[in-house]
Amino acid sequence: MSDIELSINGKRVRRSVEDHQLLVSFLREDLGLTGTHVGCDTTQCGACVVSVDGATVKSCTMLAVQAHDTAVTTIEGVSSGATLHAVQDAFHRHHALQCGYCTAGLVITAIDLIEREGGQLTRETVAHTLKGNLCRCTGYQNIITAILDAAGCLSAPAQVAQ
């Protein structure tokens, strides 16, 4: 067991964890933050993506002990109260999800992408960036449109849902 102390969605958390516990299971099972999903468990699908110290990571391939002394943001931490984050809002308006299993990871990835590279995103760069996030339902078209919209990079206004 190891004692870890970290910030989760802005709140200090102190816990004892088994050294072999994965970050995703710590979030879901110990903290009840079940918005982060496990899809593949083989580091491929990105359903489990969270942000650790401002960098997106696959939480199924990081140990909870490795998150000691970091600041973690999960999907539960991106909206402020009842007001959706601009990316969540765009996903909603553009119908960028079907079953929603991949959505938490995609929203975290999209927020990171826009914060780092917003303003100059194109369909191609967004599609390229989503390589680490697999969606089995949507075919990605609406996901990409939603991300471009949230970034203010949707060049063809006709594409915006009314």
Ligand X SMILES: Cc1cc2nc3c(=O)[nH]c(=O)nc-3n(C[C@H](O)[C@H](O)[C@H](O)COP(=O)(O)OP(=O)(O)OC[C@H]3O[C@@H](n4cnc5c(N)ncnc54)[C@H](O)[C@@H]3O)c2cc1C
In whole angstroms, what is the distance from residue 98 CA to residue 85 CA? 19
Q: C-alpha distances in angstroms, 133 versus 84, 94, 127?
A: 21, 18, 10
43 binds ligand X (CB under 6 A): yes
Residues 49 to 108 in contact with ligand FES, rule: CB under 6 A: 58, 60, 97-102
If you search the block for the tokens 């516990």, which residue do you land on?
Answer: 21
The entry of another protein, ligand FES, ligand X, none near residue 6 (CB within 5 to 8 angstroms by kind) is none
Shortest spacing between CB 147 and another protein, in angstroms? 14
In whole angstroms, what is the distance from residue 20 CA to residue 56 CA? 21
39 binds ligand FES (CB under 6 A): yes
Q: Quick one: 2 or 159, whose CB is closer to another protein?
A: 2
Site residues (vs ligand X, CB under 6 A)? 43-44
